[in-house]
Structure 1
Amino acid sequence: MNRRLIAAALLLAIASPAFAWGRLGHRLVADLAQDELTPKTRAQVDALLAAEPGATLASIAPWADELRAKDPALGKRSAPWHYVTIHSPDCSYDAATDCKGDNCVVGAIEKQTAILADRSQSQDARRMALKFVVHFIGDIHQPLHAGNRPDKGGNLVQVRLPTAAGGERGTNLHSTWDSGLIELTGRDEAAYLQHLRSLPLAVAVDRPALPPRAGEWADLSCAITERPGLYPDGARLDAGYARTWTPVIDEQMRRAGAHLAQVLNAALGD
């Protein structure tokens, strides 16, 4: 029985899309966005989170990944909202083909932002929408959450990743981009946030952002997956892979933080 349970768990891990950025990445994106919020937007965020004492943008950022355990029904319903598979070979998002029924990360960002911005909605509905928006804008900037290959966003691509101790471990390409390369830097949360803050702001936060340009963000993420070398030739990833691609991850987190600030300022700042 134990062997069957272990096998089932392994199959589920392989078949299910992994979560983007992991807890640390999502928290970093939220903290970067917090830096760029207007005073009015910060006040609105605080008001929405007042029912959960101590909650911050960073603390709620991983929430949507925790739903499988905390609220299995909502976790199952929202599972497709974490990613989009783009069917165009040139990474051009098409809602009719790639997001039927708005059941993908692009549609989820658009719908949840509309709820968040709608003052006629209940505080509970808007607070949940805030949690989804913070999380999904992080998700869509993880390139393998918007790819165009039939490999479940790199989950089916097995790799060997170096460890900080000098060894290596087995994982998959998706997990490598979610958290493996971030962990290899050896930075804790405070140090990583300081590093990301030192990078140029990826986009101008004062641009209007409603409706969110989530389709454009998906196109960019997909295009990154098509860059030579992101999909390795062999299973073993060396230190050169990390040197090449970790700066791309950093840039995408910086961009995600700016886009999240754009959306929140537009939805809550008026």
Structure 2
Amino acid sequence: MARLIASLLVVFLLLPTPAYAWGPMGHRLIARLAEGDLSPQARAQIAKLLAGEADPSLAGIANWADELRAEDPDLGKRSARWHYVNIGEHQCQYDAARDCRGGNCVIEAVREQVAILGDRSKSKAERLQALKFVVHFVGDAHQPLHAGYARDKGGNDFQISIDGEGSNLHRLWDSGLLGTAGLNEDAYFRRLQAMPVDIDTTSPASPQAPAQWARQSCALVLQPGFYPRRAKLESAYVQQYRPVAEQRLRLGGAHLAQLLNSVLGSS
């Protein structure tokens, strides 16, 4: 089993993909989980906004915010800092003036884009763009290393080795951990959908909700053992933390559904 895990890690961690939160499959899984829990009213509103999209589903737009870097470099550059917040150095306590200058972090980005999405006076194009950002950024907020340390760029500078091949901790959490399960997207969706989910009491539409999600992500980063003690990754790490990554995906889907239902639930 250990040898199989190591082999799968090598395959997934050496793929020539940039270090985005969760990777494409992870973001699509969060979106699919959310879509299954939408209220009829929210589903109808989203269908109107997505009409004309190549894939008119939440999963179909889940990775748009990462693809911007190639498709719309200007917007991609302006929104680059909206994907994360660095609060690891501050024991996961968030201070907007210190940690999110100019509103450039995932916490304030979620708040701003939710406000646009819920504003019926905005154009369809503006609200559609906001929906695309919201779907992606809620996922980002649930990836632990998108709320981690500034000093190592959310684990991007923390080097690890699997069977002699180099990678980094951020990439491991993006897709490497999920990849070791050996499941395709549909199978993984069914697996996550069957998991119990413990929803916190903070209203998803509350201004405090995105900060709470980020603090919960950050708290995982600060746990002893989250950063491997040795550069060479052991199979025990995967066995311990893949369930944690799966729980974050499941919770991200639940929170996204709650948020969209709250913002778009009225006719």
With normalisation by structure 1, the TM-score equals: 0.88
> Do the aligned partners of 2:29 and 2:249 also contact (CA within 8 Å) in 1?
yes
> Do the aligned partners of 1:205 and 1:258 also contact (CA within 8 Å) in 2?
no
Cα deviation, 1:97-154, whole Å, max 9, x if unaligned, reads 1111111000100000000000000000000000000000000100000013410000
Percent of matched pairs sharing the same residue:
53
Q: 2:242 is matched with which residue?
A: 246
Query: Post-superposition, which runs of at least 4 consecutive aligned residues in structure 1 deviate over 6 A?
Result: none
Q: 2:7 is matched with which residue?
A: none
* Cα separation, 1, equivalents of 2:137 and 2:247: 17
Give the drift of 1:87: 5.9
Q: 1:98 is matched with which residue?
A: 99
Q: 1:67 is matched with which residue?
A: 68
* Cα separation, 2, equivalents of 1:209 and 1:191: 31
Q: 1:195 is matched with which residue?
A: 191
Q: How does 1:228-243 map to 2 (within 5 A)?
A: 228-243=224-239
Q: 2:50 is matched with which residue?
A: 49
> What residue identity is the alignment partner of 2:226?
L
* Cα separation, 1, equivalents of 2:133 and 2:199: 22
Higher relative contact order (CA 8 A, sep 6+): 2
Q: 2:8 is matched with which residue?
A: none
SS at match of 1:241: helix
SS at match of 2:148: coil
Q: 2:112 is matched with which residue?
A: 111
SS at match of 1:217: helix
Can you give the 5+ residue segments of structure 2 that lack an aligned partner in the other structure?
1-17
* Cα separation, 1, equivalents of 2:203 and 2:108: 21
Q: 1:220 is matched with which residue?
A: 216
With normalisation by structure 2, the TM-score equals: 0.89
State how many pairs are aligned: 249
* Cα separation, 2, equivalents of 1:61 and 1:192: 16
Q: How does 1:1-270 map to 2 (within 5 A)?
A: 18-86=19-87, 88-161=89-162, 167=163, 169-203=165-199, 207=203, 209-211=205-207, 213-270=209-266
* Cα separation, 1, equivalents of 2:180 and 2:150: 26
> What residue identity is the alignment partner of 1:177?
W
